[in-house]
Amino acid sequence: MIVAALRLLGRHARWTLPFGVCTGLVWPALAEALQSWVLPTMIGMITVSLLRLEWAALMTTLARPGLLIRMSGWAMVISPVAVWLLARIGVIPEAFTVLSVLQAASAPIGSAAAFALFLGIPGHVCMAGTVVMTLMLPITLTATASLLLPSFGIQVDLVQFFVRVTLSALAPFAITYVIRRWAGDVRLRALDAELAGLNVVLLVLFAIAIMNGVTETFLERPGFILGLFAWSWFAAAFWHAAGYLLLRANGFEQAMSSALLLGNRNLGLTLA
């Protein structure tokens, strides 16, 4: 019965994120209870995505690094600096400056490749980009915290910050290695539908948990929450457009892959 339920959830993944967000909003006590699950569920989602990867296609894409270097440089280095500069000159609303910089410094979400496949685009470029940028995160995010965030009055213990980000970013890869060695590729391919359903369960739990405090804040400061919601939609649209234009000359599939990588950032992992 559990297997059938996971398969059913995997086929209806598109509705899970809004369902989790709405549940967290209308049931704030549950969101508070699940707050400590944010990092474990995030690591779990990345791990499941890695377990579902076609590693042969990944290695083929990694063997041609020019495209990945270009996308990764823009996403992980140029983007946060550009947003920081826009914030410093007052283009970005002051209330959203730090979140905007952190969003620009975040790696892509683990399901970017799944989004590509849903749109009928080969997912290997998104898959490779997600892996490369997640592995870059300990260095680039620590650089953002040490060089950019202090201008907004934010100071962090860089050693502790680096260790935390490194462990969070590398844990899924270590877990994936152990599971793949134990289970084998053939068994994991046979369980792909169940893994998709498991990812849905983790996504719902994560979406509920990150809504902790949002309902209370909305009741106290509705203008701030509505403004943040509007700004989030604008930022998502902007980064999708920027990613598309970055590789427009390389053809539609490459441009859309870049749009999905730059437009869907894993801010949850950055803030966890």
State the pLDDT at residue 74: 93
Helix-helix angle 222-246:65-73, to 10 degrees? 150
State the pLDDT at residue 200: 80
Whether pLDDT at 3 is above 70:
no
pTM: 0.81
Cα–Cα distance between 101 and 80 in angstroms, integer?
5
Lowest mean pLDDT among 117-121, 143-147, 216-220, 240-244: 117-121
Cα–Cα distance between 21 and 27 in angstroms, integer?
10
Where is pLDDT greater, at 87 or 194?
Answer: 87
State the pLDDT at residue 46: 83
In the numeric block, the tokens 């509920």 are attached to: 208
State the pLDDT at residue 45: 81
What stretches of the chain show up as alpha helix (H) in DSSP?
2-11, 16-26, 28-33, 38-51, 55-62, 65-73, 79-88, 97-105, 112-118, 124-147, 158-183, 185-190, 192-209, 214-220, 222-246, 252-263, 267-271
State the pLDDT at residue 77: 94
> What is the average pLDDT score of the chain?
84
What pLDDT band is residue 240 in, cutting at 50, 70 and 90?
A: very high
Cα–Cα distance between 270 and 109 in angstroms, integer?
11
Write the pLDDT tens digit of every residue in 205-238: 888 888 888 888 888 888 888 998 899 899 999 9
Where is pLDDT greater, at 21 or 214?
Answer: 214
Cα–Cα distance between 148 and 84 in angstroms, integer?
7
Cα–Cα distance between 81 and 120 in angstroms, integer?
33
Whether pLDDT at 42 is above 90:
no
What pLDDT band is residue 55 in, cutting at 50, 70 and 90?
A: confident
